[in-house]
Structure 1
Amino acid sequence: MATTRYEIEKFDGKTDFELWKVKIKEVLGQQKALLAITNPAKYPETLTAAEKKTIEIVDQPTAYDLWKKLNEIYLNKDLYNKAFLRERFFTHKMDVAKSLTDNLNEFKRLSLKFRSIGDNIGEENEAFILLNSLLESFKDVKTAMKYSGEKSLQKQ
């Protein structure tokens, strides 16, 4: 899927505001994002909860308020979310269709999410989870690291 990039200069107060406004509306219209600049009282009744949530994010007056709203929406720390993250982290297996780098990045992302819910299992346990997530093609590496002694899993 191709994305189109639009270049519109920031409004500096010296150019024609009406012309600048038309350009902004055109871009938002093409991206089906005109609701971002629509009065909330005039939102269509058919608006879904997800669409309303997106608009609420965009409608924050300061960067701090936006940051708080994003944390509130996406950093959900309820019991269900914690259980889901724990299960995904502890049962993670690398994807054979992805590169090793992409797999390691995915593991690191899961690890950071796991830590964000307040759980810390320690580096040694995390290393064992990573080791167990390796693909079958790394069987010899896994065996060597598991049974070559305590020092092989410690930081050098």
Structure 2
Amino acid sequence: MISNAKFDIEKFDGTNNFGMWQCEVMDLLFREGSDIALSSKPKDISDKDWEYVNRQACGTIRFCLAKDQKYFIMKETMASSLWKKLEDKYMAKSIENCLYLKKKLFRFQYKKGISMIEHLDNYNKILADLQNLDVEIIDEDKALLLLNSLSDTYEHLTTTLLYGKDEVKFIDVSIALVNNEYRKKDQLDHRDSTSEALTVARGRTNNKRYGVPNERGRMIEPFLY
């Protein structure tokens, strides 16, 4: 984990999300002022300054990589070239990758036991990976595919969200799902609290009924019915 002021960047090891890692590194480069090295050389920058900015950017990028991922770019001194090599290796815009991610999206299903927030995070990761391959999913399809990923227990909520609508928005569906989970949790907590209160009340009633000793050792007379 790389920590730089407000930035905490997980080193890319070839298995974590490259698109998210790339976004975080771009933010870090921007913060230190070396993101310009990923573009063409401006006319108002000297060759010496341009070389310095590139070396700085290359160093920052490599510092955010796991050791095994540095070897094929370890001698690269131009940030744009280094960046492109990483993209070519880990974000190949091929038909195979598009097919794989689209299958992953269309087959995406809710995993029992995880929170709705986690489910949405997993879903958004797939959408982000597709976006990095220049594949755009229209908003309504995002919403419908998200609803399709839910288990049968969400059928009533799905019907409610779609009933009488000419269109459905992804953000509205996402918010509704999270709010629904919070509402269910609140109801469950309330039932647990009520059940606990009733149990305590019954215990006190039974103590009085069967003459259980009080704190001073005196017998409490039971109620007569």
Report the TM-score when normalising by structure 1: 0.56
- Would the alpha carbon gap of residues 129 and 58 (structure 1) be closer, same or farther in structure 2, given more than 3 Å must change? farther
Q: Does the aligned pair in 2 maintain the 1:94–1:134 contact within 8 Å?
A: yes
Question: Does 2:157 match 1:141?
Answer: yes
**CA-CA distance at 1:69 after TM superposition:** 2.4
Report the identity percentage: 23
Given the alignment, which residue of 119, 122, 138 partners 1:122?
138
- Match among 105, 114, 128 for residue 89 of structure 1: 105
- State how 1:40-119 maps to structure 2 within 5 Å: 54-61=70-77, 63-119=79-135
Distance 1:79 1:144, change over 3 A: same
Q: Name stretches of at least 5 consecutive residues in structure 2 with no aligned partner.
A: 2-65, 173-225
**CA positional deviation for 1:97:** 3.2
Alpha-carbon distance between aligned partners in 2 of 1:109 and 1:128, rounded to the nearest angstrom: 17
CA separation in 2, counterparts of 1:58 and 1:105?
Answer: 33
The answer to which structure, 1 or 2, has the higher relative contact order (CA under 8 A, 6+ apart) is 1
Counterpart CA distance in 2 for 1:67 and 1:135 is: 41
- Counting matched residue pairs gives 108
Residues 94, 71 of structure 1: alpha-carbon distance in 2 compared, 3 angstrom cutoff: same
1:58 and 1:66 in contact (8 A); partners too: no
How large is the Cα RMSD of the aligned pairs? 2.8
TM-score (norm 2): 0.41
1:101-152 CA-partner distances (Å, limit 9, x unpaired): 111011111111122222223101111111111233322111211224225x
